[in-house]
Structure 1
Amino acid sequence: MQNDIPHSEDDTGDDQYDGPSKSQVKREMLALVDLGKELVDLSPERLKQLPLSERLYDAIRLAQRTTSREGLRRQVHFVGKLMRDADAALIQTQLETWKNGSKEQTQAMHRLESLRDRLLKDDQALTDLLTKFPGADVQHLRTLIREGRKEQVANTQLRPGQDPLRKHYRALFQALKTLHDTETTT
């Protein structure tokens, strides 16, 4: 006796689910919860820079104000749940930029501070700088260096409790930063 169940030509017998596995879905959800934890640790100013829905932003702010350990855990999981509707890849990219960019920016600032200190100590440093940046305003830089040196001398003669003079010291740093920024954009 033959099988009375009719078979169509399209039926290949593959009734398997082609979507992500249960484990994969769980991994993705845990990744969103971890991303939510990172968002809860951000400052309100940084949060405002991210593409967050109002509901997600409010949930993150509530988690930041929550003091109870269990309450915070539950709120973070709720933030993770709301992250399903957010552009998690864009948010993750921005967080990575802030983390990695800040390291590079800090290193660049340290290099500029070191250059400023060399300029205040040694005239040869200005010659080297002008070789690297031929379009720099030489007169302005010399004025800032001269005034910065005067500030250093005046700061050695301060009485206890007096604030050191830093106007030209800072202005020299800003001039170097402007030079560096114009160099990197061109």
Structure 2
Amino acid sequence: MHKHEESEDSYFVSKSQKKRDMDALQDLGKKLTEYGPARLKKVPMSDNLREALVEMARLTANGARARQLQYIGKLMRSEEIGPIQAALDVIEGKSHAEVARMHRLEKLRERFLEDETMLTEIGNLYPAADLHRMRQLRRNAIKERSENKPPKAYREIFQILREMEEGGVATEHPHHHSEDEGHDHAGHHGE
């Protein structure tokens, strides 16, 4: 009798574990639906799953989307989950790195607007920078702020910093990462 109780317990454990595994597959499938086709190209998966995800992007009716999501969850059962998860981790890591880069550039722009001597640091970071143009944009951005005008020069400073960094002209500089790097300034990327 004691043996029978043990097998009954392990049946329930394995049944609940299966449920957790199915939920995890469903969640991973749902996560895949949040990415566009360009990003999904980098994720290894079967053609059936890829087609189901493309179809999901086309659907607009909630009922149809719910059925498609269930179908995607079913397809996930036959997928190699490890490579899919690894590819998503890379994609998400890149987006986190991109957000951190944007924050860093925003902070550099703010420090530059507060203190013109930051122009020297910008010149050290980006030797190809047109410092005369940057100084002029700084004056314009400050004027725009004081007159409540659209932030055209403010945005252009950000664009120039981003282009210089993407162009690979930046050299690593100890002051490039500000000491308050952990603070969140979300909501004004490139603005």
Q: Shorter-chain TM-score: which interval?
A: 0.5 to 0.7
Q: Which amino acid aligns with 1:88?
A: I
Give distance in 1, aligned partners of 2:170 and 2:84.
26
In the other structure, the counterpart of 1:9 is none
Which structure 1 segments of 5+ residues have no match? 1-15
Q: RCO greater where, 1 or 2, for CA within 8 Å and sep 6 or more? A: 2
Give distance in 1, aligned partners of 2:159 and 2:45.
37
Cα drift, residue 179 of structure 1: 6.0
Which structure 2 segments of 5+ residues have no match? 1-6, 8-12, 174-191
Q: Is 1:90 aligned to 2:83, yes or no?
A: yes
Q: Which amino acid aligns with 2:50?
A: Y
Work out whether residues 145 and 172 of structure 1, in 8 Å CA contact, stay in contact via their aligned partners in 2. no
Aligned residues between the structures: 160
Q: Is 1:143 aligned to 2:132, yes or no?
A: yes
Q: Is 1:46 aligned to 2:35, yes or no?
A: no
Work out whether residues 52 and 68 of structure 2, in 8 Å CA contact, stay in contact via their aligned partners in 1. yes
In the other structure, the counterpart of 2:10 is none
The 3 A distance-change label for structure 1 pair 78 and 111 is: same
Q: Is 1:75 aligned to 2:68, yes or no?
A: yes
Q: Is 1:65 aligned to 2:58, yes or no?
A: yes
Give distance in 1, aligned partners of 2:84 and 2:37.
15
Q: Is 1:109 aligned to 2:98, yes or no?
A: no
In the other structure, the counterpart of 1:183 is 172
Cα drift, residue 68 of structure 1: 4.2
Cα drift, residue 93 of structure 1: 2.8
Cα drift, residue 37 of structure 1: 1.3
Q: TM-score, normalised by structure 1?
A: 0.62
Work out whether residues 120 and 149 of structure 1, in 8 Å CA contact, stay in contact via their aligned partners in 2. yes
| Counterpart pick for 2:160 among 145, 163, 171 | 171
Give distance in 1, aligned partners of 2:169 and 2:78.
41
Deviations 1:140-177 (A, max 9, x none): 34234234236547868x9x8x9945656522442255
Q: Which amino acid aligns with 2:159?
A: R
Work out whether residues 33 and 80 of structure 1, in 8 Å CA contact, stay in contact via their aligned partners in 2. yes
Q: TM-score, normalised by structure 2?
A: 0.61
